[in-house]
């Protein structure tokens, strides 16, 4: 960190400092921030005074203050500026309204439950940021919530290609993110649901079941409800998928990030006319002017960063462990097959027996090298498509003579189950 690049910002009440940190080549490119006076928060998590916070390359953030503050920033930021028109108070009002609904839950009545909120909108409209804000405001008021992140491209909880559920009862750690809660993670394996919509929907159904189970067994989550984050695919089949998710998860509040057309289409399709007291409300929220558009390359780099963090740890820099696995200790599967036989390649009159939700075992070959495999909790083959995963391993070597693969994993010891799932993820460490 270069001491020469030190800036002090003084913010008035209800202003925010927005800044970005470029993806650099070394850790020295990160930025250090210290709150020297007043109070401030990052997407709803309060910042402690005089504690250094380190933001790595790829960070795009806003530090908001309700009462005014002074911040000291060391390191190179891009596009740093102070903005005074943040929609934070509107987001705060929404969270107050949700909290009132939580207070009205009657835990003696098994049908009474807290708000089930889903956030949707196009890519880069602030959905993930609003999810964090709503989670943080709820937990700051001592409510517990279930957070389901269904975004397989830029999810917050686990590595790309996953859908996860986290049980949250304290604000999200600014530097560690969700890595401190032990989430339930489901492996889809691709960065966009369109790669295999039937399988994606199957996992969403499983997520819905698990949310119900957790709600049933924990009064605190029945009261707190859900916050559900989605991906930005809202056109055509993406819109159909969104409405099916809203129904599958029995959502009560849909928050739409600044999109009139999407808001109106959802009202048309989910609140049919004549249905006076519909049990679903659809609210359009203002998109923050600070939300940054991310390029395809930036998205690719941040997915890589998520994978690197998974294996190497975040601020605490855990190191990963190398494990050798005999070919006959494990079985590798794919769900469906992303290479579908073209109709013309089949004999006339014959149908493709391709089922996109079926697991298929694949041989262990040298090309598995550098792939990321999910370690399934499935006990039998048929459970593979919907069972949660224990974690991930990264293949670092395939020895066809010794019939052995070497993998790295974030924790030492044996892997818990023998079924591994392959999809499209790989990691080439640069
Ligand atoms: N008010 C803000 N100021 C600066 N950056 C922001 C602000 N709100 C969001 N961002 C950043 O903009 C990017 C896109 O926001 P995000 O919430 O991830 O959008 P979405 O989930 O809709 O794609 C993220 O890197 C996020 O940290
Ligand atoms: Mg997002």
Q: What is the pLDDT of residues 358-399, one digit of tens each?
A: 999 999 999 999 999 999 999 999 999 999 999 999 999 999
Domain spans, the chain = 6-85, 88-285, 320-338+357-426
CA gap 53, 72 in Å, rounded: 11
Higher pLDDT, 426 or 329: 329
Q: Has 417 been labeled as part of a binding site?
A: no
Q: For residue 267, say whether it is annotated as part of any ligand binding site.
A: no
Q: Is the pLDDT of residue 333 over 90?
A: yes
Nearest C-alpha neighbor of 150 from the set 63, 65, 109, 210: 210
- Ligand 1 pocket, residue 253 CB under 6 Å: no
The fold of 6-85 is Jelly Rolls (2.60.120)
Query: Is 50 exceeded by the pLDDT of residue 430?
Result: no
pLDDT-based confidence at residue 35 (cuts at 50, 70, 90): very high
Q: Is 428 exposed, middle or buried (CB count within 10 Å of its CB: 0-12, 13-18, 19+)?
A: exposed
Which listed ligand is nearest to 160 at the C-alpha? 2
60 annotated as a binding-site residue? yes
For residue 149, CA distances in Å to 33, 105, 174 come to 28, 24, 18
126 lines ligand 1 (CB under 6 A): yes
- For residue 129, the CA-to-ligand 1 centroid distance in Å is 6
* 390-423 pLDDT tens trace: 999 999 999 999 999 999 888 777 787 899 999 8
Name the least confident of 23-32, 158-167, 209-218, 285-294. 23-32
Listed in sequence order, the DSSP H helices in 313-430 are none
* Residue 63 alpha carbon to ligand 1 centre in Å: 12
Closest-approaching ligand to the CA atom of 133: 1
Task: Indicate if ligand 1 lies below 6 Å from the C-beta of 230.
Answer: no
User: In 160-213, at which residue ranges do the beta strands (DSSP E only) sit?
Assistant: 162-168, 184-187
Q: Cα(187)–Cα(423) distance, rounded to whole angstroms?
A: 9
Contacts for 77 with CB less than 8 Å, ≥ 6 apart: 7, 19, 20, 21, 31
Containing H/E element for 95? helix 88-103
Contact 221, 139 (CB under 8 A): no
Instruction: Give the integer Cα–Cα distance in Å for 293 and 247.
Output: 29
Is there an atom of ligand 1 within 6 Å of 191 CB? no
Angle at 228 between CA 59 and CA 197, to 5 degrees: 95
Cα torsion angle, 346, 349, 355, 356, sign? positive
- Which residue minimizes the CA distance to atom 15 of ligand 1? 126
CATH topology of domain 320-338+357-426: Elongation Factor Tu (Ef-tu); domain 3 (2.40.30)
Query: Comparing C-alpha atoms, which of 93, 185, 87, 100 is closest to residue 143?
Result: 100
- In CATH, which of 3.40.50.300, 1.10.1040.10, 3.40.1010.10, 3.40.50.2000 is domain 88-285? 3.40.50.300
Q: How far apart are CA 418 and CA 415, in angstroms?
A: 7
Element (H, E) at 128: helix 127-140
Task: Give yes or no for residue 133 having a pLDDT over 50.
Answer: yes
């Amino acid at each position: 960190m270069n001491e020469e690049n030190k800036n002090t910002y003084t913010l008035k009440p209800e202003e925010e400092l927005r800044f970005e940190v470029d993806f650099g080549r070394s850790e020295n490119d990160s930025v250090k921030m210290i709150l020297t006076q007043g109070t401030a928060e990052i997407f709803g998590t309060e910042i402690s005074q005089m504690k250094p916070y380190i933001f790595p390359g790829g960070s795009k953030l806003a530090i908001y203050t309700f009462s005014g503050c002074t911040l000291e920033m060391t390191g190179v930021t891009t596009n740093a500026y102070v903005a005074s028109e943040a929609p934070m108070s509107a987001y705060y009002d929404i969270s107050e309204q949700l909290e009132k609904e939580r207070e009205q839950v009657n835990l003696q009545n098994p049908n009474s439950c807290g708000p089930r909120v889903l956030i949707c909108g196009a890519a880069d409209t602030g959905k993930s940021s609003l999810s964090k804000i709503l989670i943080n405001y709820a937990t700051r008021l001592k409510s517990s919530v279930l957070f389901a992140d269904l975004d397989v491209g830029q999810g917050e909880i686990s590595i790309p290609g996953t859908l996860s559920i986290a049980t949250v009862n304290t604000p999200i750690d600014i530097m560690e993110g969700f890595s401190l809660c032990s989430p339930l993670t489901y492996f889809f394996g691709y960065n966009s649901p369109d790669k295999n919509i039937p399988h994606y929907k199957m996992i969403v159904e499983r997520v819905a079941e698990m949310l119900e189970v957790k709600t049933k067994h924990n009064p605190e989550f029945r009261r707190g409800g859900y916050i559900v984050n989605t991906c930005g695919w809202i056109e055509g089949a993406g819109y159909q998928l969104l409405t099916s998710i809203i129904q599958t998860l029995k959502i009560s509040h849909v928050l739409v990030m600044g999109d009139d057309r999407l808001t109106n289409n959802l009202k048309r399709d989910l609140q049919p006319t004549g249905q006076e007291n519909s049990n679903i409300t659809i609210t359009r929220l203002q998109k923050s002017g600070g939300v940054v558009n991310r390029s395809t390359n930036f998205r690719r780099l941040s997915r890589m960063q998520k994978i690197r963090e998974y294996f190497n740890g975040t601020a605490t820099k855990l190191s990963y462990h190398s494990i050798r696995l005999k070919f006959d200790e494990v079985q590798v599967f794919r769900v469906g097959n992303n290479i579908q036989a073209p109709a013309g390649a089949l004999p006339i009159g014959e149908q493709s027996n391709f089922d996109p939700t079926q697991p298929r075992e694949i041989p262990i070959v040298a090309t598995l090298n550098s792939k990321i495999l999910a370690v399934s909790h499935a006990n039998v083959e048929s459970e593979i498509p919907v069972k949660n995963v224990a974690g991930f391993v990264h293949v670092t070597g395939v020895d066809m003579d010794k019939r052995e693969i070497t993998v790295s994993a974030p924790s030492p010891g044996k892997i818990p189950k023998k079924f591994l799932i392959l999809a499209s993820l790989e990691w080439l460490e640069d």
